[in-house]
């Protein structure tokens, strides 16, 4: 029983010692030597607190800039809340812009696709019209070939024209 009480007392003392101390301090001696410790001598020059021990620790607590070691929660400070709200607003605005740009890009690609289809259809109509002209001229020459001609030279010229048109039709048309 005595051992348990002693161990408890030692544990309390060991836990309380760093909490009781002012933290780790850094100072310059009169000789110009940089020294670290708990308690600086009275003739110390440029004394500053490096690490301050506080009774309450956690990510929301910090020491003040003056080095006094007053732990305070700044998570709920108005400045921090305003910064978080502004960051959230910027994030939402960025997401909205990205969605709007994506919608514009989709509309642009859809319009380009429609334009390509219209151009292809236009090319097909032009091609069909050209083939129809070739076929009409072939029909005309075939009709002339059936008729009797007065001069043999006209017949030879029409036959060569007919052969040339048939070649064009087979190369260009379906």
**Taken in order 145, 151, 152, 156, is the CA torsion positive or negative?**
negative
Domain limits of the chain? 2-73, 78-172
Angle between helices 152-172 and 78-146 (to 10 degrees): 160
> 3 with 30: CB under 8 angstroms?
no
Q: Where is average pLDDT lowest: 46-50, 82-86, 164-168?
A: 46-50
Task: List pLDDT tens digits, range 129-160.
Answer: 988 988 888 888 877 766 655 555 565 667 77
Averaged pLDDT for residues 35-49: 75
Task: List pLDDT tens digits, range 88-106.
Answer: 999 999 999 999 999 999 9
Averaged pLDDT for residues 21-33: 74
- pTM (global) more than 0.75: no
Fill in the DSSP letter of residue 157: H
Q: What is the spatial distance between Cα 131 and Cα 74, in angstroms, rounded to a whole number?
A: 82
Provide the strand spans (E) within the chain.
24-28, 34-37, 45-51, 61-62, 72-73
Task: List pLDDT tens digits, range 124-133.
Answer: 999 999 889 8
């Amino acid at each position: 029983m005595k051992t348990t009480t002693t161990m408890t007392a030692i544990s309390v003392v060991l836990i309380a010692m760093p909490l009781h101390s002012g933290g780790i301090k850094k100072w310059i001696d009169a000789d110009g030597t940089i020294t670290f410790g708990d308690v600086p001598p009275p003739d110390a020059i440029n004394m500053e607190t490096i690490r301050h021990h506080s009774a309450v620790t956690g990510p929301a607590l910090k020491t003040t800039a003056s080095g006094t070691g007053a732990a305070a929660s700044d998570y709920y400070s108005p400045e921090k809340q305003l910064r978080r709200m502004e960051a959230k607003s910027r994030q939402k605005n960025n997401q909205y812009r990205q969605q709007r740009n994506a919608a514009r890009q989709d509309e642009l690609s859809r319009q380009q696709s429609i334009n390509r289809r219209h151009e292809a259809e236009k090319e097909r109509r032009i091609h069909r019209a050209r083939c129809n002209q070739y076929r009409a001229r072939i029909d005309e020459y075939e009709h002339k070939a059936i008729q009797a001609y007065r001069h043999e030279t006209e017949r030879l010229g029409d036959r060569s024209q007919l052969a040339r048109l048939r070649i064009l039709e087979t190369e260009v048309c379906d």
